[in-house]
Amino acid sequence: MALILHAQKGNKNAYKTLIAAEYSGIKVELAPDFQMGVSNKSPQFINMNPIGKVPVLETPDGPVFESNAMARYVARLGESNLFGSSPIDQAHVEQWIDFSSMEIDDNIMKLYRPRRGFSPYLAPVEEAAISSLKRAFEALNTHLAHNTYLVGHSVTLADIIAACNLYLGFAQLLVKSFTSEFPHVERYFWTLVNQPNFRKIFGQVKQTEAMPPIPSAKNPTQPKESKPTSKDAPKKVAKSEPEKPKVVEAEEEAPKPKPKNPLDLLPPSKMVLDDWKRLYSNTKTNFREVAIKGFWDMYDPEGYSLWFCDYKYNDENTVSFVTLNKVGGFLQRMDLARKYAFGKMLIIGSEPPFKVKGLWLFRGQEIPKFIMDECYDMELYEWTKVDISDEAQKERVSQMIEDFEPFEGEALLDAKCFK
């Protein structure tokens, strides 16, 4: 029979079991019609977990509670190697599970609960939690500077549990200004959540733009004021005329116009980006003679600029599908620039470590600031402006657009286009 997971939808602790099940090939079903605060108080649930905590996993051999234990149970059922292949790997998997639970999840919850009104808000407690969380992120960032995953060269249970513990932080608490201090942690998180087995459970993950506000003094967690007794109650006052509804000033009602993107204010360019993208997409034969020649005929060096990019951490690219997912995630997050950019990303090499190099066409003479601010991947690359007066650089541009192979003497593993 399928394993039954008792939890509400969106429970990040339940995600640990569900993602482990995807990797292990184990069928896990969510209990139908589960209602938090109702289902977990039923006699049936209390028999499975005497203190009524969620989630609980119902198995043919009896219930299992505590989310890490549940994920371990499911991971051991399958044939995937989620615990590593040696005793030291297994110890390191357990080490990082404990680390992400005690150093990351515990401090994230110290921020989350008061901000959501589930416990009293105390500024010194929040400051201490932020300090501890930064220390944990620094340690994790240092480890990930030379490692794609926490243990070995593929996903283990440590990565699954760490990603689930980071998920609540990225989705609801930790804004870009906080996480950008730890680029390897950012790269690690977005690499994981964009892998198919993670994405099937998480869906599309977006980073929060703001922390939840500090609860007001009227927070329901604060003691309620006692109601006045009948002796203290003020005497009834005669009913007055009903208050007339306030008239809102017209200028207060009118929505503010959306500010224009600075790139839209640049002088018109003779190059129409959509025309080039159509030419690129529709050219099936004689690519060099048609598309490449067409590009240089259209190119406007006053209205656009070309940039080479080189990934800074190519020594990490030891697994082909992970490297491809990394580049795919980058292109997804560049969607905000689609109106103003065209790009080619080459994954180079027949054996690891694979090199990642790119070519980008941007509106304007610099890389647009809003792209640098919003897309964290930009910081993972070295950017060099193309000098088209240099024939060697111009030819390199043509080869990258064309997916020329061998590129700089090496085979192409893949080439991806942003258009």
Q: Which residue has the tokens 């969620």?
A: 54
* Reported pTM: 0.55
Q: What pLDDT, on a 0 to 100 scale, did the predictor assign at position 247?
A: 39
Residues 147 and 275 in one domain: no
Distance CA 130, CA 109 (A): 11
Is 107 within the bounds of a domain?
Answer: yes
Which among 273, 262, 354 has a CA at the least distance from the CA of 306?
273
Mean pLDDT score across all residues of the chain: 88
Report the number of distinct structural domains present in the chain: 3
φ/ψ of residue 308, rounded to 5 = -90, 145
73 and 140 in one domain?
A: no
Buried b or exposed e, range 210-241, using 16+ CB within 10 angstroms: eeeeebeeeeeeeeeeeeeeeeeeeeeeeeee
**404 assigned to some structural domain:** yes
Is the residue at 229 inside a domain? Answer: no
Question: Tens of pLDDT along 371-408?
Answer: 998 888 899 999 999 999 999 999 999 999 999 999 99
Residue from 92, 149, 142, 138 nearest 317 by CA: 149
Query: Are residues 146 and 289 located together in one domain of the fold?
Result: no
Is 407 contained in some domain? yes
Q: Which band of pLDDT confidence, cut at 50, 70 and 90, is reported for residue 258?
A: low
Average pLDDT of the residues in 204-230: 65
For residue 152, give every residue at least 6 positions away whose Cβ sits within 8 Å of its Cβ, in sequence order, or none: 84, 85, 89
Q: For the chain, what's the residue count? A: 419
Residues 13 and 164 sit within 8 Å (Cβ to Cβ): yes
Residues 274, 186 share a domain: no
Q: SS3 for 144? A: helix
**Could you read off the pLDDT of 95-107 as tens digits, one per residue?**
999 999 999 999 9
Q: pLDDT digit string (tens) for 307-366?
A: 999 999 999 898 888 888 889 888 888 888 999 999 999 999 999 999 999 999 999 999
pLDDT digits (tens, 9 = 90+) for 261-316: 889 999 999 999 999 999 999 999 999 999 999 999 999 999 999 999 999 999 98
Q: Return the structure tokens found at 332.
A: 């997804």
Answer yes or no: do 174 and 51 share one domain.
no
The confidence score (pLDDT) of residue 312 equals: 93
End position of a domain, from candidates 77, 106, 127: 77
CATH code of 335's domain: 3.30.70.1010
Same domain, 291 and 411: yes
Residue whose entry in the numeric block shows the structure tokens 């390191």:
92
pLDDT tens digits, one per residue of 30-76: 998 898 889 999 999 999 999 999 999 999 999 999 999 999 999 99
Question: Which tokens belong to 6?
Answer: 């008792």
pLDDT value, residue 81: 87
Res 248: pLDDT: 38
Residue type (1 letter), 169: G
Domain stops at, among 57, 77, 97: 77
Nearest to 158 by CA among 64, 258, 72, 41: 72
pLDDT digits (tens, 9 = 90+) for 145-169: 999 999 998 999 999 999 999 999 9
- Residue 206: pLDDT above 70? yes
Residue 241 scores a pLDDT above 50: no
Measured in whole angstroms, the distance separating CA 324 from the mean position of its chain's CA atoms is 16
**Which residue segment(s) compose the domain that 13 sits in?**
3-77
pLDDT at 134 over 80: yes
Mean pLDDT of 368-372: 92
Q: What is the CATH number of the domain that holds 173?
A: 1.20.1050.10
| Domain shared by 95 and 152, yes or no | yes
**Considering the domain boundaries, does residue 10 fall inside one?**
yes
Helix (H, G, I), strand (E, B) or coil at 132: helix
Q: Which two tokens stand for residue 47?
A: 């028999």
Q: 403 and 309 in one domain?
A: yes
Q: What is the pLDDT of residues 63-111, one digit of tens each?
A: 999 999 999 999 999 878 899 889 999 999 999 999 999 999 999 999 9
Phi/psi zone of residue 393: left (φ > 0), alpha (ψ -120 to 50 degrees), beta? alpha
Same domain, 9 and 109: no
**Count of CB atoms within 10 A of residue 406's CB?**
11
Q: What is the dihedral of CA 162, 165, 171, 172, to 10 degrees?
A: -150
If asked whether residues 95 and 8 sit together in one domain, one would say no
Same domain, 399 and 274: yes
Question: Both 406 and 278 in a single domain?
Answer: yes
- Distance CA(381)–CA(262), nearest Å, equals 24
Please say whether the beta carbons of 34 and 7 come within 8 A. Answer: yes
Specify if 36 maps to a domain: yes
